[in-house]
Amino acid sequence: MRILYQLLVVLFVMLQGAAGQPFTHRPFDPCLMQNGRCFPGICRRPYYWIGTCHNGFSCCRKGWSS
């Protein structure tokens, strides 16, 4: 009976720890990997469009200044 009690405590602690963890992990953000930022709508100067973010926003990168 004591072993059952200890197993229940261990199970409770494991479930409590798992509850704080996010369910899915994104290994990387493609926009961030291209030195971009996510903006709602279209990209405005000095940014230009390089793709679409995972949330549907525009992925914009700052233009080169000369």
| pLDDT tens, per residue, the chain with 66 residues | 788 778 777 776 677 665 665 555 555 778 988 899 999 999 999 999 999 998 999 999 998 754
Q: Quick check: pTM over 0.75? A: no
Quick one: pLDDT at residue 40? 95
**CB under 8 Å to 65, separation ≥6 — which residues?**
46
